[in-house]
Structure formats: structure tokens, C-alpha cells
Amino acid sequence: MSLLSVRDLTVKFAMRDGNVTALNQVSFDLARGERLGIVGESGAGKSITGFSLMNLLSSPGYIADGTIQFQGQDIVNLPDAKMRNIRGNRMAMIFQDPMVTLNPVLTIGQQMVETLKAHRRLSKAEAEQIAIMKLRQVYIPSPEERLMQYPHELSGGMRQRIVIAIVLLLDPELIIADEPTTALDVTIQADIMELLLELCQSAKVGLILITHDLGVVSQMTDRTLVMYAGRIIEAGSTREIINDPQHPYTQGLINALPQQTAPGQRLKQIPGSMPSLTAVPKGCPFEPRCAFATDVCRSTPPEIVRHAHVEVACHEVNRLHAPQQEGQSA
Amino acid sequence: MLAYLVKRIFQAIGVMFVISLIGFAIQDNLGDPLRELVGQSVTEEVRQELREELGLNDSFTKQYTRFLGNALHGDLGTSYFFKEPALDVILKKLPATLELVFGATLIIVCLSVPLGVMTAIRPNAILSKFIMGASIIGISIPVFLTAILMIYVFSVGYGWLPSFGRGDVVHVFGDWDTNFANVDGLRHIIMPSFALASIMLPLFVRLIRAEMMEVLQSEYVKYARAKGIRPWRIYFVHALKNTLLPVITVGGVQIGTMVAYTILTETVFQWPGMGFMFLEAVNRVDTPLIVAYLIVVGFIFVVTNTVVDLIYGLVNPTVKLARLGA
Ligand SMILES: Nc1ncnc2c1ncn2[C@@H]1O[C@H](COP(=O)(O)OP(=O)(O)OP(=O)(O)O)[C@@H](O)[C@H]1O
Ligand SMILES: [Mg+2]
């Protein structure tokens, strides 16, 4: 049984002028201890996916269709009290900006103890012992003193470490990290990622890492989902996707990486921008920006199908890759 | 902390200085003290002599310095009507007014927090919509009208509550008689307190609601949900504390303002406090009493504001008092 199984997840936002679809039939699986990256441009629906998994969409957003099975249990229709037992306990989330995720008027200790007490019957002293242990695990110096401090007394990197310690408090099976380092200094980013990877590996915790940095994904994850305009357009093992991307959009993303560009040369950006949710083309959502688009791309949305070593949603993928693959096999 | 305290106290002294200047200017321009003292029948020569004797012919600065010096010694002049030191007259009336303000504050604190929180977390409930509608009405009806309506309904109509005076008060010490010690006293203070609170209460409900709704949208509230924290703890520990911080500042200022609002309430309910006294003093052109009232009310205002600022600094961990003082 897989840890997480998402089928045809569709999320809509109820707007004044009708519903918009933010997630369109998203399906994927996550095995126990597996690390999955979700990449895509801003607005692709990555965070919405993360919040849906926690069943934390706030209105006007709602899950319109599909199922999310977490350890065999459907969580889409779970009563709120039951869902609360899962959140922070078996499935925990790291938010993007540590400067605003911790409550400014509660001490670190209070925020850690309350999390433990929400899920376990513990005395305050016992809870504090666990908190101190977890703070040590994320290399926070003098953890006893930290418990008394307020968030504003700590640096951004330190705060994100504390958020990670809070996530670890109840030894979850799945961690969802939504761009955990974008708000931090570049020098600290690598440290935090390394820490996260180390913790996930040692405790065999499943990780969903949301980011737009393909470089990070390649270091951190086993598998990758590429999202575009609320859909998964390519999914597969991270290595395959980085080395041999099938979808023209993924290829564009990889070509735009600084490593792929000779020094002094301009980064190769994909021309155009992602359509807004209210104006998604009726065929392939990427078609207006795609150099290989044909009539069928303009009229019919592509199904996601197995191709080469990955799954990809593109009508023209055979034509695109045929010469290269023939060359390889010959 | 000490530096901040000293800084705030200096600011408060500055404000008091300006208030005293205004008070003096009023005294200097309002009415002729001689007429009040000696009437019409005295000759011009005697008047001039008296003027000289009272120092009324001295320069503005000299007179003002004298006024300020006296004020610092607690001498704010002598009431023409009561023939008593103006400050004494006011201090005798002060407890009645402070009890009224206390009653109104109690009502505001006890009702605005639950109502504000309730309307924020259940914005679409019928009760919330009713409260929000009622608050608009409460804000827009002037205090004296609310007071008269209350008398009309609860005193004249049902005869439940007395319509004027303090009723059976209990002596505490000095000039302080309290309404809060027996049933009759309490029955007398209910309507005046509600009337006085009638503007501030809806204002506070709306303020708390708006702040709370904003806080509930914040990342740290979302994060608390993601940790599996129970809703009541999110509302009352995570959100309420952040909501009340800005409310405290506004609230303190408003309590100061309420002292001034007592003029209307006390007049309608014949409440023997200093607001009622002030209106009588205006009718009698009792200039020293008017000026003394302004200075005392100004003083109360400045003190509450300073205290509120200091409390805010103490309860808000993100305000570093030491840094503010620098
Ligand atoms: N409360 C909301 N109401 C309406 N639309 C929303 C709301 N929240 C998000 N959306 C829409 O849903 C889409 C997906 O948003 P999401 O936050 O998942 O993007 P993302 O991929 O995480 O982007 P980023 O990299 O900027 O974080 C966006 O187009 C956004 O406009
Ligand atoms: Mg996002």
C-alpha cells in the first residue's frame, strides 16, 4: 500500500463570475519514505496541491472532485476532528516564509508544546523534553533557551529550523515542504535543504518538496511532477526528467537553468507566460508558447500517457523524440 | 525601559503644558473676574486698585507664570459660585464620574470581546449579521438620544430602572461614595453606563471583528491549523492575543475620551459627577471651574494615554521598550 495516493484531484475556486479550476485531474502516488518534487512556474497550482493534501483549502477554494488516500484512508471527506488528528501528527507541513509562520506573540516553547499536546497526552515538562531533543536534531544551539524566546528574537534561518523541528515533533510519515527556502538567504538555503534531506533519509519520511528550482529537485527527490496551469504535464523519476525531459515545457525549464547556459550568455527563458486560470486554452494549455504546436494541440487537451521512461501529456511527443531515440537504439 | 518611561513622561508633561496654556487663555478672555467678585456697585477707582492688587494688570507672561505656579501647587483658582477652591469642587465630583466611566468600560470590555470574536469567526451567521446591523445603529444614534430612549423605555415604560441620580450610595473614604456596593446603587448606574458605552461598544465590536478577521487570514493561523491545533485554541490563543494588541492602544485613548462624553450622559441622568458640574459651571460662567475642569480632564487623558502606551509595550513582545527609548 502506498503512503499517499491521489486520483483525479480537481480543485475549484468559487468566484463571482463562476468557478475557476485551479487543479485539473491531478493524480500521483507516493511510496513510504519516497521523496517527490513538484515543480512549475508561479501559479501552476503547486501550493494548492500541498494544501489540498492537508485538507486545508480555505474558501473560496474547494475540492470539487477526486480522492486523496493517505495510508489507505480517504481524507477528502474526513470529518474535521479526524483530519485534525492527522495534521501535524502523521502529515506535517513546512510553509514558505518562516518570518510569518510562527506566531509573534507566543514563545517557541509554547508553539512546540501545544503541537505535542494537540496529539499526545503529555505533561508540559515531557513535551519540553521532546521539543529540546528535536531542536538538537536540527542543530539549534542551546535549545533550552530557545524555548523561552519569541520568534522575532531569531534569524530567518533559525526560525525555519525551528519550523522543521516542529514538523518533526510527532514523527510524521509525510512532510510537505512548500518552497521552504525561497524566503531565506542563499547561503542558508543549501543548509536547510541538506538538513531536510538528512532528516527524511534517516527517518524514512515521505517528502513532497514544492519548488520552482529544478536544481534543488534533482538533489533532493526520487521522483518529480511538472505542473502547468493546474495540470501534471510530466511525471517520472527525477533522473529521467532532468536528463531526458519529454515535454517541450520541461525541456524549456531545463534549458533555462543557469548550468545549461554558457557564462555570459543570456538565460534561455521560455517565451510568453502561463495562462491565467480564467483563460486556459481549450486544447493543450502550453500550446500558445509551444514551438511544436499543431492543430490537434489547439483543439484537444492531451491525455497523460507513458512515454519513454516517464509519463507525459503532449500530443507531439512521439514526433519530438523519435529521431533522438532511434539514434540511441541504433 | 527606563529611557522609554522618561521619554513618555516628558511628552506627557509637554502636553499638560499646552493644556494649561489653553486653560489660561480661556480664563484670560472669558468674563471679567472683578464683576464676579464685587458686582456693579463699586467705583472705577476701587476697581483699578483691586485689579492692581490681583495682578490683573501684569504682563501676560507674568500672569501665566503665576497661574502655572499656582496650578503646580494644586491651586486652580476659586469657584465664583461655590466660593471654594475649584480643584476641591471637581475632586468631590470626580468619583461619581470615574465610577460611571468604570461601569461603561466594564460593559465595553465584557461585551466587545465575545461579540467581536463571534462576528469574526461566524461572519455569515444570522446573529452576527444582527450584531453588525445593531452596531451601526448604536454608532449613529447620539448618546443623549440613546439615554432619553432608555429612560423612556426602562423607566417610564416598564419602570424597571430609576431614571436619575446615583441612588443609595455607600461611603468608602474621603469623597468617594460607591454605586457598586448595593442593589440600589447598581440599579442606578446601569442605564447611565450603557448610555455612555453606547457609542464605544459598537465601535469596539467592529474594531475587534475587523482585526480578528485579518489575523485569521494570517500565515501563522494557517500554520497553527496545519499543526492540528483545535479551533478554540486558534481563536482564543493564537488569534485573540494578536487581535487585542492594536485594540489596547485605541481602547486606552477611547477611555480617556469617555471622560469627556460623560457631560452628556450625566446631564441626561442628573448624575452628580463633574460632567454635570461642568455644564452648570458653563451656565453660570464660573470661569475658574471651567478652566479647572479642562485641566483635570486633560490630565486624566494624558495619564491614561501614557499608561496605555506603557502597558502595550509590556504585553507586546515585539516592542522592545529599550529600543524605543533610544
Ligand atoms: N484564494 C484564491 N482565490 C482565487 N484563486 C486563487 C486563490 N489562491 C490561489 N489561487 C489561484 O490558484 C492558482 C494556483 O495557485 P498556487 O498558490 O497553487 O500557485 P503556486 O504554483 O504555488 O505558485 P507560487 O510558485 O507562486 O507559489 C493561481 O493561479 C492562483 O491565482
Ligand atoms: Mg506556492
Determine if ligand 1 sits within 6 Å of the CB of residue A285.
no
Write the burial class of residue B52 (CB in 10 Å: 0-12 exposed, 13-18 middle, 19+ buried).
exposed
The answer to whether A152 contacts chain B (CB < 8 Å) is yes
pLDDT (average), residues A139-166? 93
pLDDT (average), residues A152-160? 92
Contact A217, A39 (CB under 8 A): yes
The fraction of chain A above a pLDDT of 90, given in percent, is 65
DSSP state of A267: P
Cα(A36) to centroid(ligand 1), Å: 20
Domain range list for chain A: 101-169
Contact B263, B278 (CB under 8 A): yes
Per-residue confidence band for A261, with pLDDT thresholds at 50, 70 and 90: low
**Average pLDDT in chain A:** 89
| pLDDT over 70 at B323, yes or no | no
Whole-angstrom Cα distance, residue B261 to residue A222?
69
Domain range list for chain B: 1-75+286-326, 90-204+246-284
Q: For ligand 1, atom 14, name the residue with the nearest CA.
A: A45
Least confident of A152-161, A266-275, B201-210, B298-307: A266-275
The pLDDT of residue B100: 94
Q: Which three cell numbers stand for residue B165?
A: 441620580
Q: Which of B218, B222, B227 sits opposite A166 (nearest CB)?
A: B227
pLDDT (average), residues B55-79? 83
| pLDDT over 70 at B319, yes or no | no
pLDDT in tens, B140-190: 888 889 899 999 999 999 889 888 888 888 888 888 888 888 888 899 999
pLDDT (average), residues A83-94? 95
Which residue among A274, A277, A280 is best mutated to probe the pocket of ligand 1, counting the most ligand atoms within 8 A of its Cβ? A277
Which residue among A48, A216, A231 is best mutated to probe the pocket of ligand 1, counting the most ligand atoms within 8 A of its Cβ? A48
Contact B191, B150 (CB under 8 A): yes
Residues of A within 8 A of B121 (CB-CB) are: none
pLDDT in tens, B210-269: 999 999 999 999 999 999 999 999 999 999 989 988 888 778 778 778 887 899 999 999
Cα(A209) to centroid(ligand 2), Å: 11
| pLDDT over 60 at B270, yes or no | yes
Residues of B within 8 A of A86 (CB-CB) are: 228
Cα(A46) to centroid(ligand 1), Å: 8
The pLDDT of residue A267: 66
The pLDDT of residue A122: 94
Q: Which three cell numbers stand for residue B69?
A: 505656579
The pLDDT of residue B325: 41
Cα(B233) to centroid(ligand 2), Å: 27
Contact state of B237 with A102 under an 8 Å Cβ cutoff? no
| Rounded alpha-carbon distances, angstroms, from residue A89 to A215, B126, B129, B228 | 30, 36, 37, 7
Contact state of B219 with A58 under an 8 Å Cβ cutoff? no
The pLDDT of residue B36: 66
Listed residue (A240, A228, A261) closest to A321, CA to CA? A240
The pLDDT of residue B324: 45
Interface of chain B against chain A, CB under 8 Å? Answer: 218-220, 222-230, 233, 237-238, 241-242, 245, 316-318
pTM score, whole prediction: 0.83
Contact state of A105 with B316 under an 8 Å Cβ cutoff? yes
Determine if ligand 1 sits within 6 Å of the CB of residue A97.
no
Contact state of A93 with B226 under an 8 Å Cβ cutoff? yes
Least confident of A87-96, B67-76, B316-325: B316-325
Contact A222, A238 (CB under 8 A): yes
Among A25-39, A280-294, B47-61, B67-81, the range with the most confident prediction by mean pLDDT is: A25-39
Whole-angstrom Cα distance, residue B247 to residue B241?
10
pLDDT in tens, B28-61: 777 666 666 676 677 778 878 877 777 777 787 8
**Average pLDDT in chain B:** 86
| pLDDT over 60 at B321, yes or no | no
Cα(B220) to centroid(ligand 1), Å: 18
The pLDDT of residue A321: 66
Which residue among A13, A62, A209, A226 is best mutated to probe the pocket of ligand 1, counting the most ligand atoms within 8 A of its Cβ? A13
Residues of A within 8 A of B229 (CB-CB) are: 84, 88, 114-115, 118
Closest residue of B to A102, CA-based?
B220
The fraction of chain A above a pLDDT of 70, given in percent, is 94
pLDDT in tens, A173-231: 999 999 999 888 888 888 889 999 999 999 899 999 999 888 899 999 999 999 999 99
Determine if ligand 1 sits within 6 Å of the CB of residue A40.
yes
Listed residue (A105, A117, A200, A107) closest to A162, CA to CA? A107
The pLDDT of residue A266: 67
Radius of gyration of chain B (CA): 24
Q: Which residues contact B87 (CB under 8 A, 6 or more apart)?
A: B74, B75, B76, B292, B296
pLDDT in tens, A275-312: 888 888 888 999 889 888 888 888 889 988 888 788 99
Q: Which of B218, B220, B227 sits opposite A87 (nearest CB)?
A: B227
Q: For ligand 1, atom 6, name the residue with the nearest CA.
A: A13
Query: Across the A/B interface, how many CB contacts are shorter than 8 Å?
Result: 72
The pLDDT of residue A329: 38
Radius of gyration of chain A (CA): 21
| pLDDT over 50 at B301, yes or no | yes
Per-residue confidence band for B191, with pLDDT thresholds at 50, 70 and 90: very high
How far is the first Cα of chain B from the last one, in angstroms, to the nearest whole number? 10
The residue ranking higher by pLDDT, A269 or A52, is A52
